[in-house]
Amino acid sequence: MSLFADLTLGVNAVRPGRTAMRNYDLALFLAVAALLSMGLLMVYSASIALADGPRYGGVNRYFFVTRHSMFLVVGLVAAVLVWLTPMRVVQKFTLPLFVVTVFLLVLVFLPVIGHEANGANRWINLGPVNFQPSELMKVVAVLFAADYVVRKQQHMDSFVNGFLPMAIAMAVVGILLLLEPDLGALMVIMSIAMGVLFLGGINTKVFSGLMGTLVCLFFLLVWLSPWRRARLFAYLDPWNPDNVYGTAYQLSHSLIAVGRGEWFGVGLGSSIEKLHYLPEAHTDFIVSVIGEELGFIGIALIVGLFAVVIVRCFEIGRQSIAMERVFSGLAAQGVGIWFGVQSFINIGVCLGLLPTKGLTLPLISYGGSGLVMNLVGLAIVARVDYENKVMMRGGRK
């Protein structure tokens, strides 16, 4: 009877020692799916009135949500392709990819190829769509910094051999971004590079000195630029009559929108500020529309979902580093830094906690290059997690 029971167990049950471990991180998957769904819904809600305005008079009310859906599909396809690529292959092509991306940052300044909008040269003209190389650079900065730490692991305590080459590479990127100008992307990319170097074990004194230098340079850039300086003063006093109809116009209307929403919002689709009062309601200030229509609860939900994404990125990276897969681990954590910094800046600007800065909210704001690169970055994290789980089962990465 005992033998029969053992045979039955062997046929119908999982063998001892086997686990039902998923090939993906469920919490990360659900959080990203929720953010993408909310983004699709809120882009539709925030952009539906734009067709009635003079700026986008030639489009219908479904124009932006249709394009957003198309970019989402493209991003998902790109994410699948990235997920299918082993991390050892990604690491092999990191340096060439960095060089190509720097070259693309140069192309935005060339006539015909580059596309200018609102006085900024940030896009490459690809016919029906424009590509923004600075969004690609965010992904590449994650990989480049992670690969640099691995290659220079023995020299991370040295300023000349450990830090200086990385500083020169980032200085080239920084100069190109300032010429566009795109200070928001520069802040995110520098945060990624510095964060990965810190996690990789850079000398504490060198890191502290560098952070102080970067902060001083940032305030110097703001002070030497009249329009950036005006934004800072407007941020400090947004309700001043001289500011509320000028430099602080976006901030004041963002605060009005969030204030109208109170705890539970005025209802989905019922925003007043999106009716041509709040500029860039479907891109940089989409959180303001969420706050007005869904209230404090809607904003808190978004913050909670981003917290899940960031925590899972860092945990997946920690697992990878524990298995001596340093490049993969730092890449996953670099994506977590990217999403954390960019979402903090965007939400902080919309809530009046930070001066106005043109940055979209990852996975939610309307956008082509940004949305696609967000999904590519998360696909890298998913690939790292998959390879971690393969190794946990005893397989080869």
Q: Cα–Cα distances in Å, from 92 out to 33, 81, 85, 152?
A: 30, 16, 11, 15
Query: What is the reported pLDDT for 396?
Result: 65
Query: What local confidence, expressed as pLDDT, does residue 8 receive?
Result: 42
Mean pLDDT of 114-132: 82
Tell me, what's the pLDDT at 366?
A: 92
Angle between helical axes of 133-151 and 183-199 (0-180°, round to 10): 20
Average pLDDT, integer, range 44-62: 81
pLDDT of 395 reads 67
d(CA 225, CA 229): 6
Phi, psi angle pair for 131, to nearest 5°: -105, 135
Residue pair 106/176 in contact (Cβ under 8 Å)? The answer is yes
On the 0-12 / 13-18 / 19+ scale of CB atoms within 10 A, 91 is middle
pLDDT band at 214 (very low <50, low <70, confident <90, very high): confident
Average pLDDT over residues 330-344: 97
The CA-to-CA distance between both ends of the chain, in Å, stands at 43
Cα dihedral 220, 221, 227, 233 sign = negative
List the beta bridge partners of residue 361.
Answer: none
263 vs 296: CA distance, rounded Å: 5
Best CA proximity match to 347, nearest among 395, 307, 287: 287
Tell which wins on pLDDT, 254 or 156: 254
Q: What are the tens digits of pLDDT across the range 124-172?
A: 988 778 899 999 999 999 999 999 999 988 877 777 777 788 888 999 9
Helix residue spans in the chain (DSSP H): 2-12, 26-47, 63-83, 87-92, 94-107, 133-151, 164-179, 183-199, 204-224, 226-236, 241-244, 249-261, 286-322, 326-350, 369-392
Alpha carbon distances (Å) from 379 to 54, 100, 119, 131: 39, 21, 33, 20
**How does pLDDT run across 62-107, given as a tens digit for each residue?**
889 999 999 999 999 999 999 999 999 999 999 999 999 999 999 9
Instruction: Say whether pLDDT at 389 is over 70.
Output: yes
The residue ranking higher by pLDDT, 5 or 381, is 381
DSSP lists the bridge partners of residue 121 as 116
The tokens describing 34, both together, are 């929720």
pLDDT of 19 reads 55
pLDDT at 49: 84
Smallest Cα–Cα separation from 190: which of 244, 144, 159, 236? 144
The type of residue at 373 is M
More confident call, 229 vs 259: 259
Is the pTM of the predicted complex or chain greater than 0.85? yes
Domain ranges of the chain: 23-85+226-397, 93-224
Buried b (16+ CB within 10 A) or exposed e, 6-44: eeeeeeeeeeeeeeeeeeebeebeebbebbbebbbbbbb
pLDDT at site 279? 86
What strands, in cross-sheet order, belong to the sheet with 114-117? 114-117, 120-125, 130-131
Express each pLDDT in 279-309 by its tens digit: 888 899 999 999 999 999 999 999 999 999 9
B/e letters for 245-255, b = 16+ CB within 10 Å, e = fewer, are eebbbbbbbbb
**Residue 4 pLDDT greater than 50, yes or no:** no
Please give the pLDDT value at position 183: 84
115's tokens: 């596309």
CA–CA gap between residue 383 and residue 376 (Å, rounded) = 10
Q: Give the span between the Cα atoms of 316 and 180, in whole angstroms.
A: 35
Residue type at 133 in one-letter notation: P
262's tokens:
């109170």
